[in-house]
Amino acid sequence: MEDRIQIFDTTLRDGEQSPGYSMNQDEKIRLALQLELLKVDVIEAGFPISSEGDFNTVREISKVIKGCSVAGLCRTKKKDIQRAYEALKYAEKPRIHTFIATSDIHLEHKLQKSRQEVLDSAVEAVEYAKSMCNDVEFSAEDASRSDPEYLYEVFTEVIKAGANVINVPDTVGYALPWEYGQLIKNIRENVPNIDQAILSVHCHNDLGMGVANSLMAVQNGAQQIECTINGIGERAGNASLEEIVMAIKTRQSDFEQDTRIDTQQIYPTSQMLTEITGKNVQPNKAIVGDNAFAHEAGIHQHGVLKNPMTYEIMTPQSVGINSNKIVLGKHSGRYALREHINELEFDLTEEQLEKVYQEFTHLADEQKIVRENELISLVTRVTRDNSKNGRSVNSANAVTQ
């Protein structure tokens, strides 16, 4: 097994399918270039058959991306595959990604095909794609709800047909980590030619398990993870790239593997996506949310100011954020307040600090967060009142804003 997990980014395809996240061609090219800077292994640029606009975008991305593979999605139909190749042929490393559902519920209600018909379609599609492109990925849509024995058969035959990447989607986010991990293990043990292909996973977040399932899959032999920036995607979204990458990085001794991602580009990439789409992530979002490296509770602030590792398991700088944030609010303690006042270059006596703290807590109770200009005004007022009573204070920055 390789010692590096490949990261397949589908922000521009599955991510863009999320309501409200559509992007125009220029925006997708801009984000693709940033994903290249992030050093993902594969950029899934779109679904070329779906529209003329998507075809043109995949083609233009293929022309400019040099540092990673560019993939285009297509159904197991010759016209889809041909259209995908026409868009991808300009790429230095093109990948045709073809898929068909394998669960009985999809076969009966969506495809209205038998298992044999689906198997034949999958094999024919892979053979046709392989005749044009050396790098072919096959996905068994709704794999986590498919009959495992049938899944083994499909994977065995498409690998024989030339697929060099096999993807196991948890399309509707139904799987639980232990059962999904077992599925990946069973595929490794029951697909005789699995060593001839990269085993990939694609997890959705309908039950909030996308990242957990992806990591459990890695523990059981998956070599590629399909994910998106900020976890965007259909319904509740896809597994989040930043969470997966930093989990592997932070707990590397447990995984004994790594990715090639430049983690310092994670936050800039997240911010670019929010700028392009106008959709911010929730404040408590792991890794890239506004509160991911923010501290308000006094005990936490005291610990972090003494040593950040007391309450931070990774540095903000490691993901491209300049520093953590000490937020002054009603839960803040004297220690953090003193440190903040010192940073503002005020020199207060203990009596003055206590007076500032008492007024600060009243203000924080009223408005939740105390901003820096409000703190400066508060300190200035307290020290001015003390000065009238015969006391003085030295300040290099006693200016209200």
**Per-residue pLDDT reduced to its tens digit, 126-167:** 999 999 999 999 999 999 999 999 999 999 999 999 999 999
Return the pLDDT at 116: 98
What is the average pLDDT score of the chain?
92
Q: Distance between CA 60 and CA 71 in Å, rounded?
A: 12
Domains of the chain, residue spans = 6-277, 293-401
Return the pLDDT at 298: 74
Using alpha carbons only, how large is the chain's radius of gyration in Å?
A: 26
**Percentages (nearest 5) of helix, strand, coil residues in the chain:** 50, 15, 35
| Whether pLDDT at 274 is above 90 | yes
Does domain 6-277 correspond to CATH entry 3.40.190.80? no
For residues 337 and 281, the model is more confident at: 281
Token digits of residue 268 = 């800039």
Q: Give percent of the chain above pLDDT 70.
A: 95
**How is 188-231 classified by DSSP, letter by letter?**
HHH-TTGGGSEEEEEEB-TTS-HHHHHHHHHHTT--EEEEBGGG
**Per-residue pLDDT reduced to its tens digit, 36-74:** 999 999 999 999 999 999 999 999 999 999 999 999 999
For residues 56 and 386, the model is more confident at: 56
Asked if 336 and 364 count as a contact pair (C-beta separation under 8 A), the reply is no
| Whether pLDDT at 33 is above 50 | yes
Return the pLDDT at 149: 98
Return the pLDDT at 387: 58
| Entry pTM | 0.88
Return the pLDDT at 381: 85
